[in-house]
Structure 1
Amino acid sequence: MSATKLTRREQRARAQHFIDTLEGTAFPNSKRIYITGTHPGVRVPMREIQLSPTLIGGSKEQPQYEENEAIPVYDTSGPYGDPQIAINVQQGLAKLRQPWIDARGDTEELTVRSSDYTKARLADDGLDELRFSGVLTPKRAKAGRRVTQLHYARQGIITPEMEFIAIRENMGRERIRSEVLRHQHPGMSFGARLPENITAEFVRDEVAAGRAIIPANINHPESEPMIIGRNFLVKVNANIGNSAVTSSIEEEVEKLVWSTRWGADTVMDLSTGRYIHETREWILRNSRCRSVQCRSTRRWRRLTGSPKILPGKRSATRCWNRPSKVWITSLSMRAYCCAMCR
């Protein structure tokens, strides 16, 4: 017998209850640990899995066990995986990278919003109930400055983001003492430079050489640094999204939480409804991982009034020729993941 299907109102109410009562939760037999770096504020979260003892002999009456040390692993869940952190979705997550961004001194806040669409949305009183209360004032690079991790890497600068990534990629291997756990098959590198331990210098060099990218938008300071490249760990993308007739902001935030808890490094928001602009802000302010959104869908809705109607030649030309306002470089999903990650 199939379960009773919930109505839209019931689904939204359930999602609202979920985010209202949201608490950090560790996996069974696991606990959250943090590994600190040399730079102030670099505190990398990891999940430490507690292993049960191994039976090595003895008798049924007096078995002999050998204790197994805990194993640290990569953890993308952020505050949602730490029972010690109080979570308030209405306020958003702590701005982890804000001190690092400010310390570099190469950004400035916008005095006015540059996007006409954003101005129109902010002026619409009917959206007040949907809008995230703590809207972040956007930043931009100062005149003549660049704010990408690629630029810093090419200048020979090691940023806190790079140190964070190096610690994260190593997954606490330096804490492991057992030779059994430290054993690694030789494998085939296929010409890749694979050091025994990832260092911040190695991260910088790989980014500078163009073999890796660090998606770290200055307007998403809540995000935890991560890297995508051939010489680093495989990353996981999760797709979420609503439509014009289904889902809600509450449900999208719930999907975001579950995605990061289950290991997503990036979350692609494929929403197409009327409120994707407001939904994006809720997701960004509550996300430790990179958030990607279908810019083409947003742009086409602005131009045509409906994401179902593809724009004409003139509108399409505007999409391609105005990347500074459209935030789109390619209709390829791979290009989105690489170039549009926030």
Structure 2
Amino acid sequence: MAPKDGICPSTTHVTRGALPASKKVYIGEHKVAMREIALTNDDKITVYDTSGPYTDDSIELDIMRGLPTRRREWILARGDVEEVQGRHIQPLDNGYKNQAALERRKVKHEKFPASPEKPLRAKAGQNVTQMHYAKQGLITPEMEYIAVRENQAREEVHNNKGGEGFGAVLPDFITPEFVRKEVAEGRAIIPANINHPESEPMIIGRNFLVKINANIGNSAVTSSIGEEVDKMVWATRWGADTIMDLSTGKDIHDTREWILRNSPVPLGTVPIYQALEKVGGIAEDLTFDIFADTLIEQAEQGVD
């Protein structure tokens, strides 16, 4: 779509609709999203699903507003976070030396209109990582959610006696306590930034289901924000458990904001990519202060 008046349009069109022979179902107290597949013999199986609300036609979605912030209630209920002013978003965050350069750009990507006013951070003396909670013996709603997800088709795994386990020790049934213990002992991680409450809890570890990451990045050819978001939607629709945004060039911060606010899975980056953009790609000009500021920028934005 050609830009109009120098503004790159944000289209609300992203891939929607149920997957083949499937419907979205929600399990348990935390309404864990799963995919129910109808087989040709009239049986049904329920499997792990990473596609978020995009495959549930009963949910009204608008990428201009972002996904529901389902984890925010859990985060605030723990009482260990506070809103802060956060760092000021600068033209340099989007690859422009100053405000004048930002205003001179030929194609202007629309800013996400519903960004949180203030980021969250841990209160003084507090630690808000899932590993910290696990080591304190606390079972969080995130851990309970994960346990339900990981139990998909558990009876089939139990009956499979072949293959090499490579040291993995999977119980017959995944419990929230098992999730907590694996995280506390360092064999698993739960990537869950408190500033990305749109994400559905998931776990990565040797004693859990294998996870798949998808790498995406902004296009070298001008594209709409809707197309950038749809890359993430398309990846998660077909099973990506996490997304790595490897964007370079201009408008990195603004593009990442659209993706984060609409992503049901954890999102990662390579922070040094953006840090290098801030110094024009000249590695010798990169300082620790610039790199550290970039880490803070991404953490406050919600990068997991």
Interval of TM-score (by shorter of Structure 1 and Structure 2): 0.7 to 0.9
Of 82, 87, 92, the residue aligned with 1:108 is 82
Which residue of the partner structure matches residue 264 of structure 1?
A: 240
Residue 251 of structure 1: CA displacement? Answer: 1.8
SS of corresponding position for 1:238:
strand
RMSD in angstroms over aligned alpha carbons?
Answer: 2.9
Partner of 1:46, secondary structure, is: strand
Deviations 1:135-193 (A, max 9, x none): 1121100000000000000000000000000000111647xxxxx89732254433332
- SS where residue 292 of structure 1 aligns? strand
Return 43-52 or 236-245, whichever deviates more.
236-245
Q: TM-score, normalised by structure 2?
A: 0.84
Please list every run of 5 or more consecutive structure 1 residues that lacks an aligned counterpart in the other structure. 1-7, 54-67, 175-179, 329-339
Which of 102, 113, 119 is the aligned partner of 1:138? 119
Once the two structures are TM-superposed, the CA of residue 84 in structure 1 deviates from its matched residue by 0.8
1:73, distance to aligned residue in structure 2 (A) = 0.7
Q: Is 2:256 the partner of 1:280? A: yes
SS of the equivalent of 1:205 reads helix
Q: Give, in angstroms, the shift of residue 317 of structure 1.
A: 4.4
Checking the alignment, whether the CA contact within 8 Å between 1:268 and 1:293 is kept in structure 2 is yes
Following the alignment from structure 1 to structure 2, what is the Cα–Cα distance between the partners of residues 186 and 263? 25
Change (3 A) 1:217 1:267: same
| 8 Å contact from structure 2 (residues 83, 119) kept in 1 | yes
1:301 aligns with one of 273, 277, 285: 277
**For residues 1-342 of structure 1, what are the structure 2 equivalents within 5 Å?**
9=2, 19-22=11-14, 24-37=16-29, 42-53=30-41, 68-110=42-84, 112-115=85-88, 117=90, 126=103, 130-136=110-116, 137-171=118-152, 173=154, 183-243=159-219, 245-302=221-278, 304=279, 306=280, 309-312=281-284, 315-318=286-289, 323=292, 325-327=293-295, 342=304
Could you tell me how far 1:292 is from its partner in structure 2?
1.4
AA at the equivalent of 1:83: D
Post-superposition offset of 1:297:
1.6
Q: Which has the higher contact order (CA 8 A, sep 6+)?
A: 2
**Cα distance, 1:87 vs. partner?**
1.0
For 1:76, the aligned partner's letter is: T
Aligned partners of 1:113, 1:132: CA distance in 2, in Å? Answer: 17
**Structure 1 consecutive aligned stretches of length 4 or more whose deviation exceeds 6 Å:** 118-121
Mapped to 1, the partners of 2:187 and 2:218 lie a distance apart of: 34
Secondary structure of the residue that 1:9 maps to in structure 2?
A: coil
Instruction: Check the 8 A contact 1:75/1:263 in 2, yes or no.
Output: yes
Superposed CA deviations along residues 42-85 of structure 1, whole A, max 9, x for unmatched, are: 111111110112xxxxxxxxxxxxxx420111100010111111
Partner residue of 1:331? none
Change (3 A) 1:251 1:270: same
Say whether the 8 Å CA contact 2:267–2:303 is kept in structure 1. yes
Deviation at 1:102, TM superposition (A): 0.6
Deviation, structure 1 residue 311? 1.9
Instruction: Tell me if the contact between 1:31 and 1:49 (Cα under 8 Å) persists in the aligned partners.
Output: yes
CA distance 1:300–1:88, shift in 2 (3 Å): same
In structure 1, how many angstroms separate the alpha carbons of the residues matched to 2:15 and 2:242? 21
CA–CA separation in structure 1 for the residues paired with 2:270 and 2:112: 20
Deviation at 1:21, TM superposition (A): 4.1
Q: What is the SS of the residue equivalent to 1:233? A: coil
Bigger radius of gyration, 1 or 2? 1
Q: Distance in 2 between matches of 1:129 and 1:118?
A: 13
Q: Distance in 2 between matches of 1:183 and 1:34?
A: 26
Q: Which one is further off, 208-217 or 180-189? A: 180-189
Cα distance in 2 between the residues matched to 1:155 and 1:237:
30
SS at the partner of 2:90? helix
Question: Aligned-pair distance for 1:295?
Answer: 1.2
